[in-house]
Amino acid sequence: MPSLPSKTLETFPNPAPERDFHIHMEIPEFTCLCPKTGQPDFATLILDYIPEKLCVELKSLKLYMWSFRDEGCFHEAVTNRILDDLVKATKPRYMRLTAKFYVRGGIFTNVVAEHRKKGWKPAPRVDLASFDTQSNTRG
């Protein structure tokens, strides 16, 4: 039986809830409709999050994204709605959704929305790229 679009986001238990780890997803085929013209809007969505107890299941995420194909949505509204739905489903420590909409009328639109769990603070970033392995010094 073929898959159908769905607003249901399924989750699974975080396999390492004792640590902060970063999940990065790129969704290059997001589409919705312009609420003014009815023409399709295309975007690449970039989802970054640090899970608490739950992770989003990929097939359900795909079907969820597909469910916007025939909906009229302003870029700002749909980005925030998707973030809200993902936060509600997964209750992450941190989540950022970046929506990079393709050009329309000579204008590119990027919308970034974030959620932070109350009280959560990220660990300091470790920059391994600048470590010189030849001399064992920072470069």
Domain residues of the chain, as ranges? Answer: 11-138
At 25-41, the pLDDT tens digits run 999 999 999 999 999 99
- In this prediction, residue 125 carries a pLDDT of 83
pLDDT of residue 126: 84
pLDDT of residue 108: 93
Known catalytic residue at 84: no
Measure the CA dihedral 54/56/57/61, to 10°. 160
pTM: 0.88
**Which CATH number is correct for 11-138, 3.40.50.300, 3.30.1130.10, 3.40.50.800, 3.40.50.11740?**
3.30.1130.10
Q: What is the pLDDT of residue 3?
A: 87
Q: Which amino acid is at 100?
A: K
pLDDT value at residue 1: 62
Catalytic member of 34, 48, 73, 85: 34
The low-confidence residues of the chain, meaning pLDDT below 70, are 1, 130-139
Going by C-beta distance under 8 Å and a sequence separation of 6 or more, which residues neighbour residue 72?
Answer: 32, 33, 34, 35, 38
Q: Give the residue ranges of DSSP H helices in the chain.
A: 58-66, 75-90
Question: What distance in Å separates the CA atoms of residue 92 and residue 5, rounded to the nearest whole number?
Answer: 24
Catalytic-residue membership of 127: no
